[in-house]
Amino acid sequence: MNQTEVTKEGLKHERPEREATTGVVAGRKQRRDTMVPPAKFQSYYGKPVINKPVWASPDIPGYLFLGGLAGASSLLGAGGQLTKRRGLARVSKAAAAAAGGLSLVALVHDLGRPARFLNMLRVFKVTSPMSVGSWLLSAYVPAAGLAALSEMTGAVPLLGTAASCGAAVLGPAVASYTAALISNTAVPAWHEGHKTMPFVFVASGASAAGGLAMAAAPLAESGPARRLGLAGGAVELALTKAMEHQMHPAVRKSYHEGKAKWLIRAAEALTAAGILGGFAAGRRSRLGAGISGACLVAGSACTRFGIFWAGEASALDPQATLTPQRERFEEKISFEKGAEVEELRG
């Protein structure tokens, strides 16, 4: 019905009907009072503005957790080897290889077309943390695997040491890039946390890796793991709170409701228990070290799952998207108006 002809050169025979204003022909009385001030909370039938992530639990939150555990474990593994703590090196390298491998499995499993995983390595894009992460993992996972294999079997010791060092260099990046991965989205509860999220993630990774090694490595060798785990746990606790507080109240809300609320609370309780237990009994008691280590690992996992579900909730809540944007928009407008007034005066 649209008889305007569209050509590569542009429109031809444009028709005028689209200019019609209802009521003009009938000459109805013009009304000037039609501006209605916008109501405070408007949305389209309460429907979300953005589409919620299709990422599934436990794949993706598990992936976040495992990446942190693996990355920080590689540091303990290499450190253990270099400082001749063989038990610590063994445990941490095994943890890094297992967690790294599992995180890759989780990532592939979550794809809509798992058979096409290798398409990830078709291009390298710094604008896509997932692309960067895929390349990172494709270097890290084999390195961590080789390091563990050599540590366990004693085979290829030189290559094993090189792989351990390689994994220790890549490890921190593996633990932290996932923060960019999720905060580089339009999901309010993730994006608004982008300034603090990387630090929360590495702290959470340190807590998990430290906790695991503390629980599984010989007491005599687990000093560094305990230090790393306790420091990580403490920073994780503090920064998760700080991150929430940097957010707009409409966004922060998603951390205090539903699944996220319980997971974040559990994370706090577990991590706090792990820290206290670690201080009190981590050095001397096998059982104490085991329990407090396990608490740190579980706390770290809960933090990741909590952040994941807060993101999902905020994506479903139109006000989490709309309110901060509306306020930003109003500010911009009043700023522009102010500038105009300045100009008129000056």
Partner 1 sequence: MIGPLNLLSSERAAEPASADGYADHPRRMGFFTDTSVCIGCKACEVACKEWNHVPEDGLNFTAMSYDNTEGLGADTWRHVKFIEQRKPLGRQEPGLLHELASPISFNGQVGQVAPAAPKLAALPQASPDGSPFIDFRWLMASDVCKHCTDAACLDVCPTGALFRTEFGTVVVQEDVCNGCGYCVPACPFGVLDQREGDGRIWKCTLCYDRISYGEEPACAKACPTNSIQFGELDELRERARGRLAQLHEGGVRDAQLYLDGKEDGIGGAGAFFLLLDEPEVYGLPPDPVVTTRDLPRMWKLVGAAAGALFATAVSSFVRAGK
Q: Are 137 and 173 in contact (CB under 8 A)?
A: no
Task: Name the minimum Å distance from CB 272 to partner 1.
Answer: 19
Task: Name the minimum Å distance from CB 114 to partner 1.
Answer: 8
**Contact with partner 1 (CB under 8 A): which of 13, 34, 158, 344?**
34
How wide is the angle at C-alpha 26 spanned by C-alphas 21 and 31, nearest 5°?
Answer: 65
Amino acid at 66: L
**Contact with partner 1 (CB under 8 A): which of 58, 87, 172, 258?**
172
Residues 76-115 that bind partner 1 (CB under 8 A): 76, 79, 82-83, 110-114
Question: Which of 5, 265 has the CB closer to partner 1?
Answer: 5
Q: Are 271 and 282 in contact (CB under 8 A)?
A: no
Q: Are 52 and 316 in contact (CB under 8 A)?
A: yes
Q: How far is CA 22 from CA 191, 238, 339, in A?
A: 43, 60, 37
Q: Is 161 in the site for partner 1 (CB under 8 A)?
A: no
Task: Name the minimum Å distance from CB 90 to partner 1.
Answer: 16
Residues 282-311 that bind partner 1 (CB under 8 A): 311
CB atoms within 10 A of CB 278: 27
Amino acid at 219: L
Task: Name the minimum Å distance from CB 36 to partner 1.
Answer: 5
How wide is the angle at C-alpha 186 spanned by C-alphas 181 and 192, nearest 5°?
Answer: 80
Task: Name the minimum Å distance from CB 38 to partner 1.
Answer: 5
Q: SS3 for 7?
A: strand
Task: Name the minimum Å distance from CB 56 to partner 1.
Answer: 9
Q: Is 272 in the site for partner 1 (CB under 8 A)?
A: no
Question: Which of 27, 345 has the CB closer to partner 1?
Answer: 27
Q: Is 181 exposed, middle or buried (0-12, 13-18, 19+ CB in 10 A)?
A: buried
Q: Which stretch binds partner 1 (CB under 8 A): 38-46, 150-158, 256-264, 272-280?
A: 38-46
Question: Which of 1, 344 has the CB closer to partner 1?
Answer: 1
Q: Is 345 in the site for partner 1 (CB under 8 A)?
A: no
Question: Which of 117, 269 has the CB closer to partner 1?
Answer: 117
Q: Are 216 and 91 in contact (CB under 8 A)?
A: yes
